[in-house]
Amino acid sequence: MQVVAVLSAMGGTTDELVRQAYGLSAEPQWRELDALLSVGEMISCSLAAMAVHELGERAVSLTGSQAGIFTNDSHGNARLLQVSPRRIIEALEEGAIVLVAGFQGVSGGGDVTTLGRGGSDATAVALAAALGARECDIFTDVPGVFTADPRVVTNARKLAAVSHEEMLQLADAGARVLQTRAVELAAARNIDIHVRSSFTSEPGTWICRRTTSFESERVSGIAHIGHDPLYTVSCQSPAMVSAALAQRGLAAVDLDVSVRDDLGSVSVVSAMVVNRSDVTATVLSALETGGIPAHLITCMPNRVSCHVLADDVGRAAQALHDAFQLHAGEERISASSGAETSRTGPVPVS
């Protein structure tokens, strides 16, 4: 069996490197910060390769550049442009296990770039697409995707499977299981992701292409953001505000802005939230019953979100989880497809 593994930095390494950088400079140059932060993943890869050799197998570690991961030059949050896995394929053909440094790539000018926090997820999905795989296992410190954060909601339940769309909404609303960009890429490339624990062999959660089993009106889960400020802009038209934000020129426009900095948010995610007033009514009723004031409610496709006081976020998540009886639902059946491998040339991934 051919194996390609993407490795993240060891726990706490990236935070320590950031601390050192800001200990030397109040405003580190983004290019140099990327060069520094990329080291953590390479340490993991090199040490893992040595460990594999000690176990009697051959392994080779590759940087993002060596693995053919090309990005734009937006340091700190670079976008993937293309993956050309030639060296990976060559190493596989020679019988080696390939260990790739996640979270990083190389710009057109040859500089090291990083893909934002959680970027190793995106690296893994991008490589799966480039190598023609239809599935990607992501091993993490949690058993899978839950109906809510089990550290906050005591009766949260692990889901057997969710759709790409549902996972994207959960991630965007605060669930930290996967990087949002990785889910977007998996949806675009029709790749199923299996999120599972690094510490057990138990099945995790499949994040799959939509099938008829997902065409239901049931709520999938609750996500939350502990600190989610609310900005209010007065004395300007929505068109002007939108244009300023699009151009990132808000600071140059004389706007009357007020900020509620004491808020967080909770969100209800479902595959079929659109035009479902009953979901909104249940959210508001549950919060009112729990004595939790709602400061802003937002309805969008697949999601209803509500701003509440930051101190109330945990209680709000539990109240909504109970209101929709997510602890009692049946686990969904995996809809994953068999893995396939093909040898391809450069693959655009943006």
3-state SS, one letter per residue, for 231-248: EEEECCCHHHHHHHHHCC
SS3 at position 229: coil
CATH number for 102 = 3.40.1160.10
Which of these three, 77, 101, 133, is where a domain ends?
A: 133
pLDDT one-digit tens code per residue, 10-47: 999 999 999 999 999 999 999 999 999 999 999 999 99
Which of these three, 111, 133, 155, is where a domain ends?
A: 133
Beta-strand ranges (E) seen in the chain are: 4-7, 59-62, 69-71, 80-83, 97-101, 104-106, 112-114, 135-140, 161-163, 192-197, 205-208, 219-225, 230-234, 256-260, 263-270, 296-300, 303-309, 347-348
What integer pLDDT is reported at residue 236 of this predicted model?
Answer: 67
Q: Burial code of 97-106, b = ≥16 C-beta within 10 A, e = fewer? A: bbbbbbbbbb
Domain span at 285: 221-327
For residue 17, count other CB atoms closer than 10 A to its CB: 17
What is the number of domains present in the chain?
2
CA dihedral angle for residue 322, residue 324, residue 325, residue 329, rounded to 10 degrees? -140
Structural domain includes residue 49? yes
pLDDT one-digit tens code per residue, 179-238: 999 999 999 999 999 999 999 999 999 999 865 454 456 789 999 999 999 888 776 676
| Distance, CA of 292 to CA of 286 (rounded, Å) | 9
pLDDT one-digit tens code per residue, 214-227: 445 678 999 999 99
Mean pLDDT of 239-251: 64
Structural domain includes residue 13? yes
285 versus 345: which is more confidently predicted? Answer: 285
What integer pLDDT is reported at residue 244 of this predicted model?
Answer: 67
Same domain? 115 vs 231:
no
Range from 53-67, 89-103, 289-303 carrying the lowest mean pLDDT: 289-303
State the amino acid at position 319 in one-letter form.
A
pLDDT at 252 > cutoff 60: no
Same domain? 3 vs 105:
yes
| Distance, CA of 296 to CA of 292 (rounded, Å) | 12
Structural domain includes residue 344? no
Residues of the chain with pLDDT > 90: what percent? 74
What integer pLDDT is reported at residue 273 of this predicted model?
Answer: 57
What integer pLDDT is reported at residue 329 of this predicted model?
Answer: 64
What integer pLDDT is reported at residue 27 of this predicted model?
Answer: 94
What integer pLDDT is reported at residue 258 of this predicted model?
Answer: 82
Range from 174-178, 207-211, 228-232, 310-314 carrying the lowest mean pLDDT: 207-211
Structural domain includes residue 294? yes
What integer pLDDT is reported at residue 154 of this predicted model?
Answer: 93
Same domain? 114 vs 240:
no
The sign of the dihedral angle between the CA atoms of 170, 172, 177, 182 is: positive
pLDDT-derived band of residue 343, with 50, 70 and 90 as boundaries? very low
Q: Provide the whole-model pTM.
A: 0.83
What integer pLDDT is reported at residue 182 of this predicted model?
Answer: 94
Structural domain includes residue 215? no
| Distance, CA of 24 to CA of 142 (rounded, Å) | 35
CATH number for 294 = 3.30.2130.10
Region label for 188, one of left (φ > 0), alpha (ψ between -120 and 50) or beta (otherwise): alpha
Same domain? 126 vs 236:
no
Which of these three, 77, 111, 133, is where a domain ends?
A: 133
Same domain? 128 vs 240:
no
Which residues are bridge partners to 347 per DSSP? Answer: 83
Same domain? 125 vs 8:
yes
